[in-house]
Structure 1
Amino acid sequence: MDLQNLVTNYAGYNLSVNQQFVDWLSNKTTEQLNQESPSSFSSILKTLNHIWGMEEYWYSIICQQPDFVNRYGIEDLNADEVFQGLINRSQVLVNEIKSFSRNDLVEKIKVVSPWFEANQSRYEYIQHFVNHGTYHRGQIVTIGRSIGITDAPGTDYLFFNARKEQQ
């Protein structure tokens, strides 16, 4: 598998598992989605909103879009807005990443932010945002378990690829 196929597949995985989480969480009550539990973000909905916000941020870096709207601290959205925003951004990322050439993917992009400074290739940032989402989806599963939600979907990258092979 070449680099372009690998990162496109990885972005497709990100979209797929975000969709699985939205489908899973769409059946939960507003109270469950907002119930507080100790974690990086204090509720399932706040954590999912953070994943969306970080995808917005990384989209602005990866796709060199200067019109980035910082979503940090925006927490007064309802579940449907967060669900739709996350899926829409994840789909746009898949579409954009599919269009990148190998040269685009290895191009170094300098990032200076309040949190870090880096000069890495575009594909490394793609790996990062997917891994970052995976980390926080794991937190959502843990928050869910702590409040009695035990029916989380299995979202390992291996499972995603195995399902694709079966199709």
Structure 2
Amino acid sequence: MKHHALQLYHYHVWANSAFIEHLKALPADVYTAKVESIFPSISTVLAHIYLMDVTWLSVMQNKKFDEVVAILGPLQQLTKDRSLTDMEVMYLELTEQYHAFFGQQEDMDKLMVCEHPQYGKLETKLSQLVQHVVNHGTYHRGNITAMLRQLGHAGVPTDYIFYLFAQRAEA
């Protein structure tokens, strides 16, 4: 049986993909339109989700804080002002990296140690880190929904239950 954390990650990928497909169907300027919100545009939210997904994969791979910071610097520049199509490709490549990593894991509940200069050391399960990635994405997809509404467009339903219905329909 597949571990629940892997199903949650699959939901995260599904929800991100649903938003990307929805954005592709809207006028092109919606993606980069300036919005009074937590983020200045939808494009910056998608870049942020991507960067944090990279961050947490690096943590799961036991990279140290300084290594993660060194990875993120160039990636922040790489994601800046990228087209929706470019971000979609980057997300797909990152998803492949996550799947390759998960495929190497024998125990999704193994203990991991995360160290942060400000917050200290934390022992947590790998599955809990996956849950964090999913929760973080869900939070920011909510930001995108609010931004879309400000711009006069509907969001897309990506609650977990809709993912379960979609999975049932695919079966």
TM more than 0.5: yes
Alignment partner of 2:157: what SS? Answer: coil
Cα distance change, pair 137–118 in 1 and its aligned pair in 2 (3 A): farther
Task: State the match for 1:37 in structure 2.
Answer: 35
The Cα of 1:98 is off from its aligned counterpart by 4.2
Q: 1:98 to 1:105 in 2, by over 3 A?
A: farther
Structure 1 CA distance, aligned partners of 2:100 and 2:8? 12
Choose the corresponding residue for 1:100, options 98, 105, 109: 105
Pairing 1:163–2:166 present: yes
Contact residue 19 and residue 87 of structure 1 kept, 8 A: no
Query: After the TM superposition, which segments of 4 or more aligned residues of structure 1 sit over 6 Å from their partners?
Result: none
* 1:26 aligned counterpart, secondary structure: helix
Does structure 1 conserve the Cα–Cα contact (< 8 Å) formed by 2:20 and 2:84? no
Q: What CA deviation, in whole Å up to 9, does each residue of 1:30-63 have, x standing for no partner?
A: 4211111122211111101100111111110112
**What is the CA-CA distance between 1:163 and the residue it aligns to?**
2.2
The residue type equivalent to 2:83 in the other structure is: N
- The SS at the match of 2:3 is helix
The 1:51–1:160 alpha-carbon spacing in structure 2 relative to 1, beyond 3 Å, is same
Q: Distance in 2 between matches of 1:65 and 1:28?
A: 38
- Can you list the C-alpha shifts for 1:119-150, whole angstroms capped at 9, x where unaligned? 12221111111100000001001000001111
Decide whether the 8 Å contact of 1:46 with 1:75 is kept in 2: yes
Across the aligned residues of Structure 1 and Structure 2, the Cα RMSD in angstroms comes to 2.2
Which of 28-37 and 44-53 deviates more? 28-37
Question: Contact 1:8–1:98 (CA<8 Å) still a contact in 2?
Answer: no
Residue 21 of structure 2 corresponds to residue 17 of structure 1: no
Q: TM-score, normalised by structure 1?
A: 0.84
How many Å apart are 1:110 and its aligned residue? Answer: 2.1
In the alignment, is the contact (CA less than 8 A) between 1:56 and 1:89 conserved in 2?
yes
**In the alignment, is the contact (CA less than 8 A) between 1:12 and 1:94 conserved in 2?**
no
How far does residue 95 in structure 1 lie from its aligned partner after superposition? 3.9
The TM-score normalised by the length of structure 2 is 0.82
C-alpha distance in 2, partners of 1:113/1:158?
37
Measured at CA, do residues 30 and 122 of structure 1 come closer, stay the same or move farther in structure 2, by a change above 3 Å?
A: same
Distance 1:153 1:38, change over 3 A: same
Runs of 5+ consecutive residues of structure 1 not aligned to the other structure: none
Select the residue among 51, 54, 76 that pairs with 2:52.
54
